[in-house]
Amino acid sequence: MARSLICILVLVALLGMTAAEAVAKGLKIGIVNVELVIARSKKGKSAQKKLKAYLKKKEASLKGQQEAIQALEKKLTNQASMMTEEARKAAYQEYQRKAAGFQEAYMQSRQEIAKKEQALTQPILERLQKVLEGLFKLEGYDMILNQTSQGVLFAKESFNLNEVVLKKLDQ
């Protein structure tokens, strides 16, 4: 979807045509804030809820490991002077091993969260693509642009398709 929008933008740029010139030539333009539409859609809200629950589960799993590391660190700090050199080295090695294990688990958890987010949002993006293609073909739009911070900054409200797309996405 993003590629087709980029292609449209490049095409317009190559033709040397601004949005105002396009309107003046009678082109029908629509603008959608994809992130906003997804966030406000029923399926987007459901995906966000599922992702938050998954995130809490991962955080709870990591919290136990983190607490064990903190307890070991506290033990090392408080009792280091009373430990033999050998016991201190063993405790420090255990601390390093657990800290490295925690770091690895944290990175793995982040990757799993990203995969989960991708799995939850991919069907929504595919449905959104179909909705936008349908609008493009059935309503006779010459171009539909994504309103992002790097793209369309301002446009007339008459170009805004957010509510139309949201309703079709939720059907």
> How would you write the chain as a 3-class SS string?
CHHHHHHHHHHHHHHCCCHHHHHHCCCCEEEECHHHHHHHCHHHHHHHHHHHHHHHHHHHHHHHHHHHHHHHHHHHHHHHHHCCHHHHHHHHHHHHHHHHHHHHHHHHHHHHHHHHHHHHHHHHHHHHHHHHHHHHHHCCCCEEEECCCCCCCCCCHHHECHHHHHHHHHC
pLDDT at 24: 52
Number of domains in the chain: 1
pLDDT in tens, the chain (171 residues): 444 434 444 444 434 445 555 445 678 999 999 999 999 999 999 999 999 999 999 999 899 889 988 988 888 888 888 888 898 888 889 899 999 999 999 999 999 999 999 999 999 999 999 999 999 999 999 999 998 767 777 778 888 899 999 999 998
pLDDT at 1: 45
What is the pTM assigned to this prediction? 0.68
pLDDT at 132: 95
Tokens of 115: 């995969």
What domain range is 120 assigned to?
Answer: 2-170
DSSP-assigned beta bridge partners for residue 66 = none
